[in-house]
Every structure is written in structure tokens, then in C-alpha cells.
Amino acid sequence: MAVFKDKDRSPSDRSAWDRKRHRQLVEESIKKNLGDIIAEESIIGQSKDKKIKIPIRGIKEYQFIYGKNTGGTGAGSGNEEQGQVIGKNSSQQESGSGQAGSGPDEEVYETEITLEELTDYLFEDLQLPDIERKKFAQIELEYKFKRSGFQLKGPKPRLNKKRTIIEKLKRKQMMKRDQAALEAEQTPERIPFHENDLRYKRVKEEMHKQSNAIILCIMDTSGSMDQTKKYLARSFYFLLYQFVRWKYEYVEVAFIAHTTVAHEVNEEDFFHRGECGGTYISSGYAKALELIEQRYNPTVWNIYIFHCSDGDNWNEDNYKAVALVQELCNISNLFGYAEINTNRMYVNSMRKEYNKFLSLDNFIMVTMNNKADIWAAFKNFLDKESPPGGNSDGNL
Amino acid sequence: MATYSIKELEDWNKKIEKLVQAAGLDCYEQHFEICSYEDMLCYEAYLGMPSRYPHWSFGKAYERQKSFYQKNLVGLPYELVINSDPCIAYLMQDNTLLTQILTMAHVYGHNDFFKNNRLFKRDTRASMEVDMFKTHANRIREYIQDPSIGPEKVERILNAAHGLTFQIRRHGSLKHSDQSESTEEVNHPIPERLKEDLLAYLAEKGNLTEWERDLVNIVREESIYFLPQIETKIMNEGWASYWHYQLLNTLGLPQGLHLEFLKRHNLVICPHLGRINPYFVGFKMFEYLDKQPGGREKIMAIRSEDRDQSFIRRHLNQELCAELHLFSYGIEGDNIVVTEISNEDGWKRVRDNFANSVGLGSIPIVQPLSVEKDTLVLEHIYDNRELELKYAQETLKYVVDLWGGKVELRTKLYSNATLIHCSEDKVVTVHNC
């Protein structure tokens, strides 16, 4: 006689561990693909709630399998004829026989994430290098008030009506029950609030240390910076800007656009306005220096400078630019130079000059040749893992 | 809420068991476990074994199955039965009474098949399997908890071994042979006994530590347990479906349940247009064969002797081919094109194509060929079907993990002899030759 067992199961969820590990691997795979996502999606200037669809190449379990061009056997309706086309090779329905299909495409599924989530993934492991270096820059204190539970006494404006009413209802129910127990006859018509019902929001004061940091974004907007190059530069700065906003509460960002002359511009103009003309890279640097002198005293501020250019400078300016980089490096935490080189044959490059004359710990150079390089460049500047500073002549 | 009581199930089971005996089916003791939807998903992910070692692929299987159910892409299985003695079957508690009755009858078909089919008898030991999986799981957990090993290293080897899980000897394990072989082995980098068993070869000759070797062997042993099920999918499901049909027809079901039975049964065995539903093909074949003179004895012998490939080759005749509307298809450019249909001309080719693609026929054979200057050379046994290149490249990296050095695969791509090379640091290159 067969044995029946009914729901004899332990409450433990035995697949939990394996599911968790699988999700972990999926998240790792998302992170690995982020570079592609940034490159593919025009996310610049999008609101943080925008949903982005990203295909997750599921964690595949590779084995030796037959290719897609393998035929098979099917059960038909009986009306099939030799030579009849019954489907397209890419479609999954028609393919596969016998074994449950294990086609290569099967494991691609899509997931939607918002730009905000994407930013979380993107910036999790990144930080501005050496941000804590200037300890005395953190002396500025700020009080922040945070709600934390409820209390019995407090100022009127902090009265929490909902909690207070709940307390009153509780008391009312208790009274009713007591009366039922005592078989008392009259229930009072109305139960007024009692002082003990009142609940106030409790507020905790939190002290915040503030680290003063300024990010100076310098962009070459000269004529040689064509649409693609500008797109690369702007994508880069967009990422940087998002990152800083995401990670640090009190970081200032200033934008400088330069051709042969430099201007401080606002965010809108920086990301959306085009200019043209020749190039004096030094003009951008001089402007940065000027701003620092006026507003961001290096003894107090952590200073980060990023410059995107195609490196196509007018020769007579090269010397001056190199000297200014030197000067800026002396007073900043990090100077990042990203050279945009969509045409690899370019010979006239600022990068070469810097390579020749500069060897500074906090000067980092990268090149960006195409969209896929943006993320790599970004990470090269800000990755926790990479040693801070260092002339990483990133060959990306 | 369940619409039945355990008592009712026991009563119906008693009647079914009587019929099972009368029909001459020969079963292990049967255990039924009623379980929830979540449990069912879990059992499915772990291929029925109540205790298996931890690996993310099972978590993936769970999530995938779950999302399929939620999107209604597939229905939940009514049952899951494992080859063990006693035979354990899980019934989902949300099934209707009729579904439970039908499932129980179906399970007895599987049970008889497990106990009597040659492949199961040869490659599995039903009374010890559940314990084997438990022992394996315990051993792997120990490795994971061992501070000198840990989860990452274990996962790396399991990933690699999983990639080669079907690259093992297909036709039963060899009898442990006499001494004469071992002298011959000295001169031969690929001993005869390991020639058709890449995973065993790597477990033995690969550059592995003891515990790594053990992991590979565990994966291989578990794979051997599952091979008979892969090799007899059509027969096994056909047999179980044929018997649930026979049993329920003579069970004396009340009319309402009987109608539900017919409906349910037709859903189980309906053809999937353009594909092969093993329940459909297997059911139709056994039904047809049982009707032939001497049919009952014959199908009993078939269920003992055959595997899907021989079953189709021997017993799928023109009449059946035509009745099932079987056809062969091929790929021409982007199109899937009917190449053969089951008429007088083509049915034999349809049958042969079909027979070659079932069971392990759906999985390419890759074997160790030689070792040249520390490079392990593998050969894909080419049968006009080409490997999926991307998958082959990635799988080669797993071979490198187990071999501990360079690996090379000889195959054909676009009808040209091709060599895929994977270096120690897993750089894969493809060469025409």
C-alpha cells in the first residue's frame, strides 16, 4: 500500500541560498554591462525617473550544444509539403525537437531600471579620490533635523494627530471593555482627548560634517570639437555631474567653456550650447585658476579639475598650458584630462605634450575614442580600487 | 483549498493499485507527498531530489520556472516523480481530486518503468540514490565551509563540471577491467576506458586537487543518474500516459470526474504543432503497439529493453509516422523548411532523423583525442550538425579550468574543418584548417 505524506515540510526555504547567489551574479552582470548601457542610451539630461530597458544577458550555463542551423523533427497538421517554409530561424517556437529547447537566445531577458537605480549601480564603488585629505575643511558644521519616533511631550507644532487619535481610540476601547466586564450601564457619549493621548514627533539633531569640494569642469568648445566629440565630452560631464550630486551633498560644481577665451557658464549652457573658433587650452586653465583664487581657497577647498578636449591646441599655446596644469595640480586634489580622439590618426595632441613635460601624482590622463570609452575613462578617474593620483596613462 | 481529503486519495489509490497489479505492472513501493506550489517549484529546480548540493544554477532554474508560471508560459506540473526505491512522487496540493487520481495512476506507470527498464536497472541503484545525493550535498557543503576552500573555489569547479555534465560515457559504465589495460595506458595519453568520457578523463588526468577531483566526480555521478531519464523521455512519458489512460478508464469514475479525466488527458497528450510532445508521441506509439496481435507482451518487453532511439527506430512505422504527421525540417538561410514528410518516399528518413535527435542525440559528443605538448586536444564527433560556436568557446574555457592548461577542439564550422583554441588565460581563437 502506498504511503501518503501531507505537507510534511520544514519551513526552511532551501532554494534561498542558491537564488540569492544567482541574483548576485545577475547584478554583477548588470554592472559589467553598464559601460554598454551608458554608451547605448542617450541618458543625458533625462529625469531620474526615466525607465531604461536593459537586456540582461542571463547567467548562461554553457555546454556544447548544436547550433541554430540544425534541423529537427516536428509533429504537424498533416498538410505540410516538402519545401514548405514553416517559420523563421530566429523564432523560438518553431525550433527544437525532443529535448526541452536550450537555444542560445533563450536566456536573454529584459529588465527595466530607472535612471536613479542605474546611478546607484554605477557609482556604488566610486568616490572622489583624497576627498578627506583636508581635514580642517570639514570644520563647518551643520545641524540637520531628523524625525525619530514619538514622544509624550513637545511643542504644539510637532503634535502628531494620527498617533494621538490612535492613542485615544485605544483608550476608548479599553474603557468599553472595562465597562463590559463591570457590566456598567452607561457608556459616555463622547470621550474627549486626554493629555496622555497626545503624541509628539520626536526629532533628533544630527551634526553633519561638510567637506568643501569644488569640481571645475572645463570643456573645449572650439570648432575642432565636432558633434561626436562634444557628445562624448558632455556624456562624460553628465556622468560626473550625476555622480557628484548622488554622492556628495555639499560639492560645488563650476563650468568653464573655452575656445581661445574662456567663460564661466551655467549648467544649461555648458551642456547644451555649442560654440566654435580656435583653441587656447591655457585660457580654460587660466579661468580655472582665476576662479580658485577668487572663490575657492585651496587651503579650505578640495579641488577637482576635469578637462575634456580633443587636444588640438594652437602650438604657441602649448607651453603656457603645460605650465598652468602644473600650477593647478599644485593646488588641487586631482586634475583629470580626458582627450577625445575619435580619429586615431590625429597627431597634434596635447596629450603628447603633457606626457613629455608632466609627471605629477595627481594628474590623470585618459583617452576617449568612442562611446564605450566614457565609462572606462570615468572609472579610471574615480575608481576606489585604483591608487589615487598616479599618472595612469590609461590606454583605453 | 484542497477539494479532497487524504482519505479520499487513499481510497482511490487502493483501487488504482489493484488495477496496477492486475495489469501486470511491477512497481517499487510508492510514496506520495502532498506539497505546496512553492515546494513544487523547488523540487522542480532541484530535479526532484529532496537534497542537492548548493549551486546558483538551481536558484536560476527556480526563478526561471517561477517567472514562466507567472507569465502563464507553462503550466505547473501536476506531479514530479523520482527514480528511487521506494518511489517518491510529489503531488501538488492545489490539484483537483481528478488531477490527483490521474496523477497517481500516471506515477505508477513511471514507477514500473523505473523498475524494469534496462537503462535504469543498469545505471542507477534505486534504493541508494536518495542517499547518494544527500552524501554528495554534505560533502560539497563541507568543502564550502572549509576555510581553506570556500564557496568561490567550489563554485568555479562546479561551473566547469556543469558545463561538461553530459560529456560522459553514454552507454553504461565500463566493467572495471583487468590489469592488461593499465600497461597499455602508460604509452597512451588517452586510455581506452576514458576515451568516451571527457569528464572522467578530466577528473583523472586534469591538474586538480583532491577535493576538486571529488567535485568533478560528484557532478559526473549525478549526471549518470539522470542519463536514463534523458534517454527515455518519450517512452517513459508515453508509458505513464498510456497506463493512466488504461487505469482511469477501468477505475469506475463517476461521470463528472470521467469527463474531467478525458479533458485533462487530451491536454496532456495533444500534439504541439511543429514540435515533439513526448507524451503525445509515446502515448500514440504504445497505444498502437498494444493493439497489435500479442501486443501486451510486446509492449512490456519494449518498456524493458528499449531507449527512445531504438524505440523509434524499431517501432515507428509508416502508419504511425503518417498518423502523427511527423515531418523533418532543415534550416535554409533564415527559413525553417520542411525537408521530408511521412509519405511512402520520405517516412524512413523522417523516422531516422527523429531517432537520431532524441535523448542524448540532442547533445553533441566531444571526446579527448590526444595530448600534444601539454595541450589537450578534443574532437567533436561531427554528424552533419555543427556546434554553436559561442557556446563551444565558452565551454572550452571550462575544460581549461579542469585540465589546467591549453585546450584545443577540432570540429567543423560551415562545413570546414575548424580548430578552436583556448589558451591557459582563456583567450579563445578560431582557426580554419
Give the nearest chain B residue to A107 (CA atoms).
Answer: B64
pLDDT tens readout for residues B175-216: 555 444 555 556 678 888 888 899 999 999 999 999 999 999
pLDDT in tens, B20-36: 999 999 999 999 988 88
Nearest chain B residue to A88 by CA: give it: B335
Domains and CATH numbers, chain A: 21-64+105-118 (no CATH), 146-206 (no CATH), 210-394 (3.40.50.410)
- CA dist B297 and B320 (Å) reads 20
Q: What is the ipTM of this complex?
A: 0.89
Q: Which long-range contacts (CB under 8 A, 24 or more apart) does B223-226 make?
A: B223/B165, B223/B166, B223/B168, B223/B199, B224/B123, B224/B124, B224/B168, B224/B173, B225/B83, B225/B123, B225/B124, B225/B129, B225/B132, B226/B47
Best of B275, B319, B360 to disrupt the A interface (most A CBs within 10 Å) is B275
Contacts of B41 in chain A (CB under 8 A): 15
B354/A97 Cβ within 8 A: yes
Residue A86 to residue B329, Cβ atoms within 8 A: yes
pLDDT in tens, A369-394: 877 788 778 777 776 444 443 333 33
Q: A103-117, A285-299, B344-358: which has the minimum mean pLDDT?
A: A103-117
Task: Categorize the per-residue pLDDT at A396 as very low, low, confident or very high, splitting at 50, 70 and 90.
Answer: very low
In chain A the first and final C-alpha atoms are separated, in Å, by 71
**Most confidently modeled range among A308-322, B53-67, B76-90, B200-214:** B200-214
Q: Decide if A32 touches B, using CB distance below 8 A.
A: no
Q: Where are the domains of chain B?
A: 6-117+232-301, 129-170+194-231, 316-361, 364-432
Q: Mean pLDDT for chain B? A: 88
- State whether A73 and B328 contact (CB < 8 Å): yes
Pairwise CA distance, residues B169 & A77, whole Å: 38
Report the alpha-carbon distance of residue A281 to residue A312 in Å, rounded.
9
Nearest chain B alpha carbon to A2: B30
pLDDT of residue A390: 37
The 10s digit of each residue's pLDDT in A209-220 is 566 778 899 988
Best to test chain A binding among B88, B110, B391, B411 (most A CBs inside 10 Å): B391
Q: Is the CB of A64 less than 8 angstroms away from the CB of B34? A: no
Average pLDDT in the A78-107 region? 56
Rounded-to-integer distance, Cα B24 and Cα B220, Å: 35
A7 touches chain B (CB under 8 A): yes
Give the per-residue pLDDT at A81: 85
> Residue B398: what residue type?
Y
The per-residue pLDDT for range A44-55, each reduced to its tens digit, is 555 556 666 665
pLDDT the model gives residue A129? 63
Q: What is the pLDDT of residues A115-138, one digit of tens each?
A: 667 777 777 666 666 555 444 444
pLDDT tens for B347-392 read 999 999 999 999 999 999 999 999 988 899 999 999 888 998 989 9
Confidence (pLDDT) at B380:
93
Q: How confident is residue A395, by pLDDT bands cut at 50, 70 and 90? A: very low
All residues at 6 or more sequence positions from B430 whose CB lies less than 8 Å from its CB, including other chains? B389, B393, B413, B418, B419, B420, B421
The answer for residues whose C-beta is within 8 angstroms of residue B218's C-beta and 6 or more apart is B53, B136, B139, B140
Mean pLDDT of chain A: 74
pLDDT of A359 > 70? The answer is yes
Facing residue for B329 by CB, picked from A2, A65, A71 = A71
Which member of A9, A77, A87 has the closest CB to residue B39?
A: A9
pLDDT at B315 over 90: yes
* Whole-number pLDDT of residue A126: 66
Question: Which three three-digit cell numbers place residue B389?
Answer: 560556436
How far A108 CA sits from the closest chain B CA (Å)?
11
User: pTM of whole model > 0.80?
Assistant: no
Q: Does A44 touch chain B (CB under 8 A)?
A: no
Q: Which residue of A has its CA nearest to B8?
A: A4
Residue of B nearest to A21 (CA): B56
Residue B71 pLDDT: 66
Instruction: Decide if pLDDT at A99 tops 50.
Output: no
Q: Residue window 72-91, chain A: list those with CB within 8 Å of chain B.
A: 72-78, 80-90
CB-based contact B126:B115 (threshold 8 Å): yes
Task: Give the nearest partner residue to A80 out of B29, B42, B341, using CB atoms.
Answer: B341
> Mutate which of A19, A21, A62, A94 to disrupt the B interface (most B C-beta within 10 Å)?
A62
Could you give the C-alpha distances from A394 to A364, A376, B365, in angstroms and in order?
8, 9, 44
Cβ-defined contact of B380 to A104 (cutoff 8 Å): no
A76–B326 CB contact, under 8 Å: yes
